[in-house]
Structure 1
């Protein structure tokens, strides 16, 4: 494995470690207050560009880099947190915490 790919995988693992913590906070708090869903969408867009780069490499070389799977895992985690945001938004509206 190339050192560049290894460094990228380590970066994705470290970024990915923050999402389970965020998911747990979203599950426990049951509120959207203090949370930015726009930020999470931007993160997903960034990850999608990373995946796009891996697909381009695959189409050019026939090699699917290992980091592709870490991007997918991170997108899945962020998507879970986005889904929880909308669940919590419903709770906020029902509780009258939002205008």
Structure 2
């Protein structure tokens, strides 16, 4: 799930960078997903540390970049 869901973020980031618009994206959705990744990271660190924590971190980083691009290209 982390690999497949994580594979979508580079495409989303690329689309935002190329077309300089964020139509169809939802800031609340991005924030909820980011909180989900943060919860996954905390769970892995506190209860079951393994290499999967790095997938959570990578995906969380990509969502953060997508949020930054959303803020940059949103229409006022």
TM over 0.5, yes or no? yes
Q: Which has the higher contact order (CA 8 A, sep 6+)?
A: 2
Aligned counterpart in structure 1 of residue 18 of structure 2, from 20, 25, 28: 28
List alignment gaps of at least 5 residues for structure 1.
Answer: 1-10, 59-63, 94-99
List alignment gaps of at least 5 residues for structure 2.
Answer: none
Cα RMSD of the aligned pairs, angstroms, is 1.3
Post-superposition offset of 1:41? 0.4
Name the structure 2 match of 1:78.
63
Q: Between Structure 1 and Structure 2, whose CA radius of gyration is higher?
A: 1
Runs ≥4 in structure 1, deviation > 4 angstroms?
Answer: none
Name the structure 1 match of 2:3.
13
Counterpart-to-counterpart distance in 2, 1:72 and 1:25: 22
Counterpart-to-counterpart distance in 1, 2:36 and 2:10: 18
Structure 1 length-normalised TM: 0.70
Counterpart-to-counterpart distance in 2, 1:13 and 1:33: 25
State the number of aligned residues: 76
